Structure 1
Amino acid sequence: MGANASNYPHSCSPRVGGNSQAQQTFIGTSSYSHQGYGCESKLYSLDHGHEKPQDKKKKTSGLATLKKKFIKRRKSSRSADHAKQMRELLSGWDVRDVNALVEEYEGTSALKELYLQANLARPEARTLQKDMAELYQYKYCTDVDLIFQETCFPVHRAILAARCPFFKTLLSSSPEYGAEIIMDINTAGIDMPMFSALLHYLYTGEFGMEDSRFQNVDILVQLSEEFGTPNSLDVDMRALFDYMCYYDVVLSFSSNSDLVETFGGSQNCLDEELRAHKAIISSRSPFFRHLLQRRIRTGEEITDRTLRTPTRIILDESIIPKKYAKVILNCMYTDVVDLSVLHSSPSVGSLSEVQALVAGKLNMTRAEEAMELYHIALFLEFNMLAQGM
């Protein structure tokens, strides 16, 4: 009478949810407390849409067993007895073969250590792009001034002419040294920072600044229509090396040390001359840069500018043999060390070659030539050439 069915230990009562299709049956079990005989019901769902606890345990135990097998296999591979495997491998080898294998391992380990130590001790080899960026920043040996929005931009005639058809045409109309050329650009929106970034791009192949205008396709199209589209930096520098347009320095070689000291002498005392550009050799080699700066301080450069003649640099062939000159210049313009140039150029019968023939050094091996060229690169402070050996 008035008793609730849930108060009985084994009573069953259906409970209907909001959806008639989702009916669940609950089995209630009551546990009596020792004090007050209160009851606490525990309900277990027997919903047929879910798995029973026993099924879950079976599947879990199966996955756990599989996982244990993988772990055991992994542990066994980690704890492999490499010494035992080596003994099995070498069990049929001769003692001399085993000794040769050990020496091979020791040599490889020593070579790896030497390689790591050499990389740590080796100075950074500056690339052509980095040296060209420094050349534009510090303005070594400039020969023409561009005036844009009342601002002067000292630049190098040969580099701009080699990189940009617009400047090639513009500079040809003012060939004199130190000419001032007023820039008139038709492309709208070009201010002084953007013009400087354009010059930086011609020197390095990169704009050198973050500007949203360089992401504007319309502006880039207008600039390409007015200035032309340059090739990659290495292609244009290779062409500049091959054709030597606007060269302003010649390298001469002599075995007369007095002639080298005075930077003069008669033409018949000199061997074959090689053309080059002051901008390139001064940016790639501190030796040449300091040499040219000294000529400016002593006033020797003024004479060459007045006479409009290229500067002559006479090198002592006992220190820098003439046969390596083309290899050095090729690396300065392209960052490529090509020793095949040594054997492709015809001999001109210089005094140094006669001395080398007498000393028995004319037929040098490639290794000997590379070592001699390495020491020349250190003398010129030209790390790209030194590390290319």
Structure 2
Amino acid sequence: MTQRRVVITGAGTVNALAPDVQGTFAAMAEGRCGIGPLDFPDVERLTIRIGAQVRGFPPESHFDKGKLSLYDRFTQFALVAARQAMAQAGLPQESCDHTRWGAIIGTAGGGNATVNEAYRAVYAEGKNRVHPFTVPRLMGNAAASHVSMEFGLMGPSFAVATACASSNHALGLAFQMIRAGLADGMLAGGAESMLNFGGLKAWEGLRVMSPDGCRPFSASRNGMVQGEGAGLFVLETFEGAKARGAEILAEIKGFAMTSDACDIVMPSREGAARAMRLALLDAGIAPEAVDYVNAHGTGTAANDKTEAAALADIFGADLPRLPVSSTKAMHGHCIGATGAIELLACLMALNAGVIAPTLGFEAPDPDCPLDVVPNVARQVRVDTLMTNAFAFGGLNAVLILSKA
């Protein structure tokens, strides 16, 4: 059976940089930083008090009161991003076979804000009851379920929970299902909101968070900075998109996922390299054809050094000429949504020829000998790119995209 080509025809987002795609493109091109002081109850009890928080997002302006009681903050983000993506795709609902469309949405914490709210009610405020919709709001599949209901998508819909690789896994699985003929189209991406006292107190315990900013690949880096938001994309067949005259934003050429099977938190050079190698093989693309790598680049000592070594294993002597940037210093590490928000930087590179910079870069690290596009965006023609996601638990997911 001939494998079908899969393209992206719509994109939507809510993140700390902007409430939409065009605003995010502008912020990335200008090198704006969405990280700042956090504002929520009990933040003064935290050691780490900075993050990439979504501000100016009144839920009541997007949802009626009856529906709003059903949605955790991560689901709210997902629904708004999905609406934007579907509007851009211009998919004619009346002629779409809804039984062959679904929603796959990655998330690490699911309804973490709801969990925090429930614990506060019971333990801090002494209440004996929590919100009656606590369980439907906190479940990891809530965003995928509500997106499928909003658009009447009756095909495969589910959540993917692979920590920081959740979005890339969701996008990759959607790509594979469409390519194999198991679906005609998907809304795919990720959504996350863990910027609350309980969520960040747990992350503080790992001692991987920076108190003063994210500086991927820089010698002075001292940890990640968490963000929140969502990125959703319409994926469909190339043939279907062309037939209805849709604008094609990118073609997904390949995808691979691997497991390190060695440590629950420490990254593996071999596992990351194997994922990149297999993704290129799946795409039928040689390493030298890659024009840009959107790195996982968290700003932690272990991740950045390991990713740089894995990139050297794949690109070898060609690596010094290859732009490799991380956008996490702008929008934060959005955990389950991070790959989806970073995919926006990939679309900007492919369609506008603008590579988003690695913000906050100071002195180079000898262990990370990369062209990180430091601090200022770069105008470069990009025809093919790679985007990486390497998660706690040793779960790796890599996508290859190109111009259609």
Scaled by the length of structure 1, what TM-score is found? 0.26
Higher relative contact order (CA 8 A, sep 6+): 2
**Structure (1 or 2) with the larger CA radius of gyration:** 1
Structure with higher strand content: 2
Q: Tell me which protein shows more helix as a share of its residues.
A: 1
